[in-house]
Amino acid sequence: MAEFRHSAQLWQQFPELVAGVVRSTGIDATGKQGAGVDMAAVADLVCDGEARARRRLSVEPESSWPQIRAWRGAFTRMGEKPTRYRCAAEALLRRLRRAPEGLPRIHPLVDVCNALSVAFGIPVAAVDLDAVHGNLVVGHADGTEVYRDLAGAVTRPAAGEVIFADDAARAHARRWTHRQSGDSMLRDDSSTVLVVAEALHVDAEAEVSQLLAELTQHLRTAWSCVPQASLLSPQTPRFDLGAPTEDSPQRTLT
């Protein structure tokens, strides 16, 4: 069975990492596959998340948030310039601060994930699992992987860069939480989705747990889904991308 995990080398390099994952089926953006999505509920959830972020931004800039400072430090440790390659949460917060109309609407679940990302200051990625070949591993590139950006341009991550890679040597995200690929972005016909939230700051475990709890509730409310969610650690680093089993080592959240 295919799995999602972080490499042992990455856990050694970043032992403070807290990773939360949610898998769900039935993520329909159009209503064509079944009951569809409650767009009114999505709109309420997105507005609430953005409002929470704006309230916090009115008190302190995103650059001072401990969540963002921790990611900036991680980018520096990876040899990247943290103000050139910003984590996804910081990039969204900067965009929200400059956009009185709110963040652009992309896909109902992406919009919910973006709203939670800015509310918590934690990068959140939503991946179309039907576009992933086999396992999905967050780790250091060996230089052979292929990355396709949102515009369709193809590049190769440099050896040592932290990426999300599948068994077909396709990179589904570059520079860890900086930019997702166009191959696995959510589309109107996406159905089976993996959401990944990662944090490195002192209160990461509590906040990632809360983020996952809110996300799973949103999935139940807006999509009538029954998602599976887990926190990963060096002791329980793997998440099955199929249905969970009774002897699964995941720490499942309720």
Give the three-state DSSP class for 239.
strand
Q: How many CA atoms lie within 13 A of 26 on its CB side?
A: 15
- Give the largest CA-CA distance in the chain: 48
Over the stretch 159-186, which tens digit does the pLDDT of each residue have? 999 999 999 999 999 999 998 999 999 9
Which stretches of 150-192 are assigned E, i.e. beta strand?
Answer: 154-155, 162-166, 170-174, 179-180
Check whether 243 has a pLDDT greater than 70.
Answer: no
Structure confidence at residue 33 (pLDDT): 44
Domain ranges of the chain: 17-133+188-242
Residue % of the chain over a pLDDT of 90 = 86
Comparing C-alpha atoms, which of 69, 196, 203, 50 is closest to residue 116? 50
> pTM of this prediction?
0.92
Structure confidence at residue 53 (pLDDT): 98
Check whether 191 has a pLDDT greater than 70.
Answer: yes
39's tokens: 């767009």
Over the stretch 120-151, which tens digit does the pLDDT of each residue have? 999 999 999 999 999 999 999 999 999 999 99
| 144, 169 contact by CB (below 8 A) | yes
Q: How confident is the model over 238-252, as a mean pLDDT?
A: 55
Residue 177 identity (one-letter amino acid):
T
Check whether 250 has a pLDDT greater than 80.
Answer: no
Residue found by looking up tokens 């679940």 in the block: 109
Structure confidence at residue 249 (pLDDT): 36
* Structural element, H or E, at residue 240: strand 238-240
Over the stretch 77-136, which tens digit does the pLDDT of each residue have? 999 998 999 999 999 999 999 999 999 999 999 999 999 999 999 999 999 999 999 999
Mean pLDDT of the chain: 92
**Dihedral of CA 202/109/81/51: which sign?**
negative
Over the stretch 24-51, which tens digit does the pLDDT of each residue have? 999 988 644 445 789 999 999 999 999 9
